[in-house]
């Protein structure tokens, strides 16, 4: 019976892929899939089912839930806590108007540039850098539609070109305080700042600059091609009226990133600062500044609770998905599929480069079909370390590539939330928007892949 376990796992993966494409709740799909593989492995008498530190309960059914409990406990107190607090801090920054103030401060200088495609390219670069501190793709896009889009249009950038670059701004993950970054760093056994400097910046920063060039020529090409039929609409996107806050509030979203880099192995080595600690410290200081500025307690205290409200939302939307993805990965491991994949790759001469290409392609494909790459990315991240180690390759190199694919393929999906939001705001079809985004994103992903293979 043991020889059938890997084939059972393959069947389960196909079912999971079909259900995710059909938009079944990914969290429950991954949980059921993991449960099925662990249960079938127990029935077949497979060994090595229990993770390190987990002891049998004496009942097979209870054992399965004990395994899930151990994963839930580990992730909630580890990477899951980072995800929740990072999401909570982002929600608080939005609540007090700091995120909007930062966007206004960095976008305003573009008004002094008159060359349309230069303004567009620089705007895309600035928007992409804002993704370091504004972690929601759709949220960042809506902010840029209100603040950047009018500047681009005033400079002579066409509506489709402006919409396309705004939809692509969340394609390159680069931040040590991001939840998914910490997930990848955890699977790679690296400090988040070390992972950020040695892997994210090394790949994402050159890829972003390459994408800027692609955006310049792609949008100019389509503008010329569509010149006879081009319709320039102005956005009707609106945001809730922002608070009038001082300029120094623009530093608040950046504070955790700066503090983490300062107190890291690259600067002050004597102090070790946890990501959660840095975020909570900045939250407390910002709340204190709010109290001093408003000379009141009630309103700042109410706003401060936004951290915990957003944390709850992050648990339901992302942390639960990470937990179930690891449970799913546990099922893949106990069926022996991962070991078979590594052995087959070695026998076929596929190697590390081939597996990175396969993982990146699968995550990108699922992201393009579903509009979200979180489910595929978290599932593959959980098994990526075993595959990379088995093939003698770089674990963080693989982790970052699948993370980048889950972000870069999102603007290529006509069903992605960010594409639908941007297209709807400017009066375009999502398919017309994707027509302008697919080449810069695909070319940049291929560039990142080649760079990863060259460096790692």
Closest C-alpha to 400, from 169, 177, 201, 126? 201
The pLDDT value recorded for residue 376 is 72
Tell me the per-residue pLDDT of 53-98, one tens digit each, with 9 for 90 and over: 788 888 888 989 999 999 888 888 877 888 888 888 888 988 998 8
Distance between CA atoms of 421 and 402, rounded to whole angstroms? 25
Query: Which of the residue ranges 301-305, 328-332, 340-344, 435-439 would you say has the lowest mean pLDDT?
Result: 340-344
For the ranges 156-170, 174-188, 218-232, 342-356, the one whose mean pLDDT is highest = 156-170
Q: Reduce the DSSP state of residue 38 to 3 states and report it.
A: helix
Tell me the per-residue pLDDT of 382-430, one tens digit each, with 9 for 90 and over: 788 888 888 888 899 999 999 999 999 999 988 788 888 888 888 888 9
Closest C-alpha to 83, from 248, 325, 416? 325
The pLDDT value recorded for residue 206 is 96
Rounded to two decimals, what is the model's pTM?
Answer: 0.80
Per-residue pLDDT for 365 more than 90?
Answer: no
DSSP letters, 169-209, are TTSS---TT-HHHHHHHHHTT--HHHHIIIIIHHHHHHHHH
Q: Reduce the DSSP state of residue 253 to 3 states and report it.
A: coil
Domains of the chain by residue range: 84-309
CA atoms 101, 102, 106, 110: torsion sign: negative
Q: Are 402 and 360 in contact (CB under 8 A)?
A: yes
CA distances from 11 to 326, 335, 454 (A): 18, 12, 35
Tell me the per-residue pLDDT of 103-147, one tens digit each, with 9 for 90 and over: 888 888 887 787 899 999 999 999 999 888 887 787 888 888 888
Per-residue pLDDT for 156 more than 60?
Answer: yes
Tell me the per-residue pLDDT of 259-300, one tens digit each, with 9 for 90 and over: 888 888 778 877 888 888 999 999 999 999 999 999 999 999
Distance between CA atoms of 210 and 401, rounded to whole angstroms? 16
Q: Are 155 and 110 in contact (CB under 8 A)?
A: yes
Tell me the per-residue pLDDT of 208-245, one tens digit each, with 9 for 90 and over: 999 999 999 999 999 998 887 766 665 555 555 567 88
Whole-number mean pLDDT of the chain?
Answer: 86
416: DSSP letter: S
């Amino acid at each position: 019976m043991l020889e059938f376990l890997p084939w059972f796992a393959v069947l389960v993966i196909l079912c999971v892929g079909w259900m995710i494409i059909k938009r079944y709740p990914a969290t429950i799909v991954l949980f059921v899939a993991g449960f099925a593989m662990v249960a079938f492995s127990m029935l077949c008498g497979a060994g090595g089912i229990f993770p390190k530190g987990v002891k049998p309960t004496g009942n097979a059914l209870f054992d399965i839930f004990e395994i899930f409990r151990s994963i839930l406990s580990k992730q909630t107190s580890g990477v899951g806590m980072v995800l929740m607090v990072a999401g909570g801090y982002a929600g608080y920054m939005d609540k007090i108007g700091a995120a909007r103030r930062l966007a206004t401060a960095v976008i305003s200088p573009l008004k002094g540039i008159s060359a349309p495609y230069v303004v567009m390219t620089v705007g895309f670069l600035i928007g992409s850098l804002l993704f370091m501190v504004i972690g929601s793709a759709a949220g960042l896009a809506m902010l840029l539609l209100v603040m950047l889009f009018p500047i681009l249009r005033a400079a002579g950038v066409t509506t489709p070109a402006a919409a396309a670059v705004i939809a692509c701004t969340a394609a390159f993950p680069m931040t040590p305080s991001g939840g998914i970054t910490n997930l990848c760093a955890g699977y790679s056994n690296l400090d988040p700042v070390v992972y950020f400097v040695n892997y994210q910046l090394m790949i994402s920063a050159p890829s972003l600059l390459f994408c800027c060039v692609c955006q310049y020529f792609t949008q100019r090409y389509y503008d010329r091609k569509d010149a006879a039929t081009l319709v320039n609409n102005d956005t009707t996107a609106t945001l809730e009226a922002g608070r009038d806050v001082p300029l120094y509030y623009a530093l608040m979203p950046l504070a955790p990133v700066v503090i983490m880099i300062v107190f890291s192995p690259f600067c002050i080595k004597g102090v070790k600062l946890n990501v959660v600690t840095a975020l909570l410290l900045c939250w407390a200081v910002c709340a204190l500044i709010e109290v001093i500025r408003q000379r009141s307690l009630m309103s700042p205290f109410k706003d401060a609770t936004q951290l915990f409200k957003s944390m709850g939302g992050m648990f339901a939307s992302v942390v639960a998905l990470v937990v179930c993805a690891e449970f799913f990965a546990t099922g893949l491991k106990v069926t022996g599929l991962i070991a078979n994949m590594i052995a087959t790759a070695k026998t076929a001469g596929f190697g590390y480069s081939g597996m990175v290409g396969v993982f990146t392609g699968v995550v990108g494909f699922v992201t393009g079909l579903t509009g979200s790459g979180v489910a595929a990315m978290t599932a593959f991240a959980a098994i990526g370390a075993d595959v990379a180690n088995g093939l003698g390759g770089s674990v963080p190199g693989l982790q970052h590539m699948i993370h980048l694919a889950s972000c870069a393929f999102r603007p290529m999906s006509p069903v992605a939330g960010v594409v639908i939001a941007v297209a709807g705001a400017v009066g375009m079809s999502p398919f017309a928007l994707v027509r302008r985004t697919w080449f810069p994103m695909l070319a940049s992903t291929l560039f990142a892949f080649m760079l990863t293979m060259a460096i790692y």
